[in-house]
A and B are shown apart, each in its own frame.
Chain A
Amino acid sequence: MSESIKPDDIDAIIHERVRLAIVSALAVAPELSFNELKTMLSLTDGNLSAHSRALDEAGYIVIQKTFQGRRPYTTMRLSPKGRKAFARYVATLRQIIDQGDPSTDDSS
């Protein structure tokens, strides 16, 4: 019999909608620039900055800041820790879908 999902099983860092979007995009693309992510996810500069910083602090993504000519050029990629956390999060979602949430189960 499979174990039920506890709130602690859901990674709070990835669970936030914007951060989940960033991690999902980086899970398939080897590397994305700040502008690519901003366009792809329809985010504002400030929003993307704040959430990518949170992911960086958690060690889930690697942010690289360079220059292209005189313009700053920021790229992001998923770290091995971030990839594992994302895989775990998706597995948890699958488990919830397969099991259903006992607290919302109508059967008596």
Chain B
Amino acid sequence: MDRDQAWDRMQEIQRIMERATLWTLLPGTAAVLGGGLVLIGCAVSYAMFRSLDFADILHMSLNRQIAFCVMWFSIGVLGVLIEAILTARAAKRQGLSPTVRSARLAIFSMTPSVAVAMVLTVKFLMPAQPTVREIQYIVPVWMMLYGTGVYTAGLFSIRPPRVLGLTFIAMGVVALLAVPDYGVVSAALSFGLLHIVFGLYILRKQRQGRAS
């Protein structure tokens, strides 16, 4: 084998490893931490209006409504930051760029559906007096669109994100059609508990991989 052939082989190995890295770049710890944050948010929400229905925010004072929105916005931003930092650290540990192809594909897959969820949320909150239904639709819409993004991200690689995405979509459908007035429970079960279970599963698999 000459130098050029060896160089080609090395590049081929790198290309394949990049394709398979979604597994090792999946931030299991970030999913657990993010899920924990959502559970805290749900507990605080319940403490604020003593109800499992997010629509009861309509009975609160304007200041408390603003505090409620700021809290959930902060949880969202913090969740994304934790994920970005831990993914970058995982990539660095493996000597990869944080903008490796599989990470870029995952971001590109997630962005459209998350952007749509944001637009719909703003639309639901925009009227001077949002209706109960409009508020109740926010959580199921986020569950279904977030699930769609995660599912699409998994299409290019491994199975677990696809399963997570489909579970989110299924739970979102149930939340929308059957229990729209239990938004706090839906959010806690999906964005909270489901993320924690998924994160622990990923961490366990990654540990198994390192041990072999």
Contacts and interface: CB of A to CB of B under 8 A. Distances in A.
Determine if chain A interacts with chain B.
yes
B24 interface: yes
Contacts of A32: 20, 23, 158
Contacts of B3: 96-97, 99-101, 104
A27 interface: yes
A28 B6 contact: no
Nearest to B13: A24
Interface residues of A, number: 35
A48 interface: no
Interface string B125-149: 0000000000000000000000000
Contacts of B205: 30-31
Contact of A28 (B2, B12, B20): B20
Nearest to B206: A30
A26 B21 CA distance: 10
Interface residues of B, number: 26
A93 B9 contact: yes
Interface string A64-108: 000000000000011110010000001001101101110110000
B112 to A, nearest CB: 22
Contacts of B119: none
Contacts of B208: 30-31, 77
B61 interface: no
Contacts of A94: 10
Given A20-B9, A97-B10, A104-B2, A80 B212 contact: yes
B10 A25 contact: no
Given A10-B1, A101-B1, A30 B9 contact: no
Contacts of A27: 17, 20
B145 to A, nearest CB: 25
A36 B207 CA distance: 20
Contacts of B159: 33, 35-36
Given A24-B16, A24-B20, A28-B20, 6 more contacts: A17-B12, A28-B24, A29-B24, A29-B209, A30-B205, A97-B10
8 contacts: A25-B17, A30-B23, A30-B205, A31-B208, A40-B157, A41-B16, A96-B6, A99-B3
